[in-house]
Amino acid sequence: MASGGFSHLRDREVARSRSRAVLTTDRAARPDAQQRRDDRRAPECPRPGGSLLVAANPATRDNPGGPISTEPRVNDRIRVPEVRLVGPNGEQVGIVRIEDALRLAEESSLDLVEVAPNSRPPVVKLMDYGKFKYESAMKAREARRNQTHVQIKEQKLRPKIDDHDYETKKRNVERFLNGGDKVKVTIMFRGREQSRPELGYRLLQRMANDVAESGVVEFAPKQDGRNMVMVLAPTKKKADAQAERKEEVARQAVERQAEHDREKAERAAGRAASGS
């Protein structure tokens, strides 16, 4: 009984030893993960002479110099024999050798900046490059600040809206249009109202006629599921509307200041009269 048990344990140990040997052989024959990644990244190509040549990376082959810079070439980075030189005040100097242009830039304590690299020869200008970059950044920031974004406002109505609510919605639509924004007017149908789409159509036509001075119909009334939609566009650009709004605010401020000065003068005159 004991010998049978030991033989069973011995067979299990032999099986484990064989499994470890097979696993070790498999690992030795198989390259590690890093080697496999390297092989995939740079496949080897046979050379005509018999040696091995590593294939180039497609990204490096297409752009060997790395990412393309959008900055202009400055000073020593301009590597052409001749350039067309422009002075700091815009005067045309003419075609000169690059060494002479660099010498003039150094004598003037300015930078030599390539402004037209595709010309033959390239056009360069004497300028303070740091000041130029700062002014360009300020102009770009001012342009972003002044640009306008047209928004689409929305007003929702019911087919059986009463007159008071309709006037409120109409004033909102006029305010949005006068501000230079588009307005999406939506008629919401419920229940049996869906069988009477002409009610919503007439209501949208009424709205378009009432705000004709401030906006025009950009998209005609169209059924969209349970709703009917119409889009109105302003008659003036948003930039013009904002300019008019600023002028109106400035005018009101001047009027308030004038009224305040007049009241102050009247109070002063009243005190002077009562004192005398």
CATH of residue 224's domain is 3.30.110.10
Residues 229 and 193 in one domain: yes
Q: For residues 78 and 100, give the distance between their C-alpha atoms in angstroms, rounded to a whole number.
A: 13
Residues 177 and 156 in one domain: yes
This model's pTM is above 0.75: no
> Domain of 96: which CATH number?
3.10.20.80
Residues 158 and 129 in one domain: no
Residues 127 and 170 in one domain: no
Q: Which domain holds residue 100?
A: 75-145
Residues 159 and 140 in one domain: no
| Digit-coded pLDDT (tens) for 40-82 | 554 444 444 444 444 444 444 445 555 556 778 888 888 888 8
Cis peptide before 117 (omega within 30 of 0): no
- Burial call 31-64: b when 16+ CB within 10 Å, e when fewer: eeeeeeeeeeeeeeeeeeeeeeeeeeeeeeeeee
pLDDT at 47: 46
| Digit-coded pLDDT (tens) for 171-196 | 999 999 988 889 999 999 998 888 88
Q: For residues 208 and 231, give the distance between their C-alpha atoms in angstroms, rounded to a whole number.
A: 10
Is position 170 within any domain? yes
CA-closest candidate to residue 103, choices 132, 83, 133:
83
Residues 225 and 204 in one domain: yes
| Digit-coded pLDDT (tens) for 196-216 | 899 999 999 999 999 998 889
Residues 107 and 160 in one domain: no
Q: For residues 274 and 276, give the distance between their C-alpha atoms in angstroms, rounded to a whole number.
A: 6
Residues 234 and 156 in one domain: yes
Number of structural domains (the chain) is 2
Is position 212 within any domain? yes
Q: For residues 21 and 28, give the distance between their C-alpha atoms in angstroms, rounded to a whole number.
A: 11
* Strands 227-234 vs 215-224: parallel, antiparallel or unpaired: antiparallel
Q: For residues 145 and 149, give the distance between their C-alpha atoms in angstroms, rounded to a whole number.
A: 11
Count, residues in the chain: 276
Of all residues in the chain, the percent with pLDDT exceeding 70 is 71
| Digit-coded pLDDT (tens) for 209-242 | 999 988 899 999 998 888 999 999 998 776 676 6
Residues 106 and 156 in one domain: no
